């Protein structure tokens, strides 16, 4: 006896009896596969299926087809709004194909680990979206062996695996150029975890802009050990301990930018009058704080949606996985202004 207390989920067999057809015929019609039935019976079946509220049993279907109709979504921390937004897009695209996402929460910056692979493969996900990849991700090989397709999202590797991510370099370059145009010449950088493409890409964009302006990169101005509020505060303190402090700081992330702002405040410095600050990701708070934060936006929902579509195109229809680089664009708000010297010069 099946333990389910209510004995009345309509099965395919019940539907077949109701329509005086064979289960397999009904199955074919409802799945739109091998449709040789007349339009009349087809309509009849579909209608009674709706009337009886037929819902195919996913477990049975999975067992039979070998597909679970789930994609794993490996993410560090939904508490970070960026990842929540990525997931929102992914969920929407998954539902559109009758799929659902299976969340696998991992430690930030730890990459993919055995436990996660076990969790996801045990549930037989048909594919994986990995948002936490490091530049070197040896365990991807394990997934390949297991035959589970994997698409990187948000962060990419150096191994040439397909990914969907924002153009981090262009975003950081735009932010830095914006500061250069305002007249800043001494621009600090508060970065993220080394070995992670978002951190490295944004740093590269910062460097590229500085060098394109004919200025050398002063390595004393490049700080940041890892993502996170505490590291950001530490990095800011180091920048403020310099003999000559920067007049602007490019920060790798919005929350971290707010943390940097906090440290500046503690030192009696005002944003943007004394020091300009830029962030990354355009979190909802960015426009609520004072001053509203100049930042780079990256359309995370779109990214999640696109990545999921690409992955499911592969899983469901056998298309090739492919890489997409999404544009990032600068949003100028109140946290950036000309440097104090040029203001003094003007005044």
Partner DNA sequence: CTGTTAGCGCCTTCAT
Partner DNA sequence: ATGAAGGCGCTAACAG
Question: What does the binding site for its own copies look like in residue numbers (CB under 8 A)?
Answer: 2-6, 55-60, 62-63, 65-68, 77-79, 81, 84-85, 87-88, 91, 95, 100-103, 105, 118-119, 121-124, 145-147, 229, 255, 258-259, 261-262, 265, 284-285, 288-290
Measured distance CA(111)–CA(130) in Å, rounded: 9
Nearest approach, Cβ of residue 103 and DNA (Å): 23
Contact partner, 27, from its own copies, DNA, none, Cβ < 5-8 Å per class: DNA
Question: Which is closer to its own copies, CB of 209 or CB of 293?
Answer: 293
Measured distance CA(305)–CA(91) in Å, rounded: 8
Handedness of CA 14, 20, 26, 30 (dihedral sign): negative
- Altogether, the residues listed in the chain come to a count of 347
DSSP alpha helices (H): ranges in the chain?
12-19, 23-31, 39-52, 58-65, 81-96, 114-122, 140-146, 168-181, 197-212, 229-240, 254-266, 300-317, 340-346
Question: Which is closer to its own copies, CB of 216 or CB of 284?
Answer: 284
**Distance of CA 46 to CAs 9, 35, 57, 203, Å?**
17, 13, 17, 56
Contact partner, 20, from its own copies, DNA, none, Cβ < 5-8 Å per class: DNA
Question: Which is closer to DNA, CB of 22 or CB of 142?
Answer: 22
Region from 30-38, 71-79, 153-161, 310-318 binding DNA, contact rule CB under 7 A: 30-38
Contact partner, 38, from its own copies, DNA, none, Cβ < 5-8 Å per class: DNA
Nearest approach, Cβ of residue 121 and its own copies (Å): 7
Question: Which is closer to DNA, CB of 126 or CB of 253?
Answer: 126
299 φ/ψ angles, rounded to the nearest 5 degrees: 50, 60
Contact partner, 262, from DNA, its own copies, none, Cβ < 5-8 Å per class: its own copies
Measured distance CA(99)–CA(113) in Å, rounded: 24
Measured distance CA(55)–CA(149) in Å, rounded: 28
Q: Counting contacts by CB under 7 A, is residue 36 touching DNA?
A: yes
Residue owning tokens 């001053």: 291
Q: What is the DSSP secondary structure assignment for residue 6, as one 8-state letter? A: S
Contact partner, 96, from its own copies, DNA, none, Cβ < 5-8 Å per class: none
C-beta neighbour count of 268 within 10 angstroms: 7
Question: Which is closer to its own copies, CB of 119 or CB of 195?
Answer: 119
Site map (CB under 7 A) of DNA, residues 52-71, x = contact:
----xx--xx-xxx------
The site for DNA (CB under 7 A) is made up of: 1-2, 9, 11-13, 20-25, 27-28, 30-31, 33-34, 36-38, 41, 56-57, 60-61, 63-65
């Amino acid at each position: 006896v099946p333990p389910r207390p209510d004995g009345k989920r309509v099965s395919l067999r019940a539907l077949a009896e109701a329509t005086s057809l064979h289960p397999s015929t009904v199955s074919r019609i409802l799945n739109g596969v091998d449709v040789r039935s007349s339009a009349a019976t087809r309509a009849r079946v579909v209608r009674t299926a709706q009337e009886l509220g037929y819902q195919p049993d996913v477990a049975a279907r999975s067992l039979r087809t070998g597909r679970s109709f789930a994609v794993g979504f490996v993410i560090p921390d939904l508490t970070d709004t960026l990842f929540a937004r990525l997931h929102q897009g992914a969920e929407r695209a998954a539902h559109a194909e009758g799929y659902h996402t299976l969340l696998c929460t991992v430690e930030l910056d730890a990459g993919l680990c055995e436990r996660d692979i076990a969790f996801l493969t045990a549930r037989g996900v048909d594919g994986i979206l990995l948002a936490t990849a490091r530049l070197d991700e040896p365990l991807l090989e394990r997934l390949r062996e297991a035959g589970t397709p994997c698409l990187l999202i948000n962060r990419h590797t150096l191994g040439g695996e397909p990914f969907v991510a924002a153009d981090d370099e262009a975003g950081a370059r735009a932010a830095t150029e914006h500061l250069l145009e305002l007249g800043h010449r001494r621009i600090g950088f508060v970065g993220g975890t080394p070995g992670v493409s978002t951190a490295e890409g944004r740093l590269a964009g910062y460097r590229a802009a500085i060098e394109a302006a004919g200025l050398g990169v002063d390595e004393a101005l490049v700080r940041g050990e890892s993502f996170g509020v505490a590291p950001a505060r530490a990095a800011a303190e180091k920048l403020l301990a310099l003999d000559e402090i920067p007049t602007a700081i490019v920060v790798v992330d919005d929350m971290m930018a707010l943390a940097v702002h906090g440290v500046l405040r503690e030192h009696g410095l005002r944003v943007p009058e004394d020091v300009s600050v830029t962030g990354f990701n355009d979190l909802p708070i960015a426009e609520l704080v004072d001053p509203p934060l100049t930042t780079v936006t990256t359309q995370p929902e779109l990214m999640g949606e696109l990545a999921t579509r690409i992955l499911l195109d592969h899983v469901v229809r056998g298309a090739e996985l492919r890489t997409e680089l999404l544009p990032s664009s600068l949003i100028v708000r109140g946290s950036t202004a000309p440097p104090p010297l040029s203001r003094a010069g003007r005044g």
